[in-house]
């Protein structure tokens, strides 16, 4: 992928934050992310991880008999799935700039949830938000450093389990 960000030592790194109440289902759950046509996601969760549109997932493990403690309203689970590699594989984008990637993700980022029995489930508490972080490789440094982080709610807003704020 040819990109002006690569020649200047700058790169936008993309990730999705997955946030939900781990006790909502009272069982283990897996939130799987996909990039592409939602029609290509099979109905059977057993095959989700085998699809070319599959990006990654976040699992929550709830032990047998584990539950909220007295007075505990919720126990929020948080995880991240990195999106940059999947985005970069797309021949449709000329760069990783937010102006190019955000509309692309809004149309093509999808997710599904299943439990340990491989049954499709809905998490009412689920909220997925996409972040873009500008990484800069400074002269003489071995690794890039983050210099700017953007939370882009509009990518997932309006979808079930997406951002609650526009």
Q: Which pTM value belongs to this model? A: 0.87
CATH number of 4-155: 2.60.310
The per-residue pLDDT for range 133-158, each reduced to its tens digit, is: 999 998 888 999 999 999 999 999 99
The per-residue pLDDT for range 84-133, each reduced to its tens digit, is: 999 999 878 989 999 999 999 999 999 999 999 999 999 999 999 999 99
- DSSP E strands, 22-140: 29-35, 54-60, 76-82, 109-115, 127-136
The per-residue pLDDT for range 26-53, each reduced to its tens digit, is: 899 999 999 999 999 999 999 999 999 9
Whether the Cβ atoms of residue 95 and residue 8 lie closer than 8 Å to each other: no
Q: Break the chain into its structural domains and give their ranges.
A: 4-155
In SS3 terms, 48-73 reads as HHHCCCEEEEEEECCCCCCCCCCCCC
């Amino acid at each position: 992928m040819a990109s002006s960000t690569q020649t200047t030592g700058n790169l936008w790194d993309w990730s999705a934050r997955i946030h939900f109440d781990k006790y909502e289902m009272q069982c283990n759950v897996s939130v799987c992310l996909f990039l592409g046509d939602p029609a290509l996601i099979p109905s059977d969760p057993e095959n989700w991880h085998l699809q070319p549109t599959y990006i990654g997932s976040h699992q929550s493990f709830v032990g047998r008999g584990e539950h909220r403690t007295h007075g505990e309203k919720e126990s929020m689970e948080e995880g991240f799935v990195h999106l940059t590699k999947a985005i970069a594989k797309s021949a449709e984008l000329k760069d990783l700039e937010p102006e190019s990637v955000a509309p692309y993700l809004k149309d093509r980022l999808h997710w599904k949830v299943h439990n340990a029995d491989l049954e499709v489930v809905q998490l009412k508490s689920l909220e997925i938000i996409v972040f873009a972080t500008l990484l800069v490789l400074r002269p003489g440094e071995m690794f890039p450093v983050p210099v700017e982080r953007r939370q882009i709610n509009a990518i997932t807003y309006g979808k079930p389990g997406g951002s609650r704020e526009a």
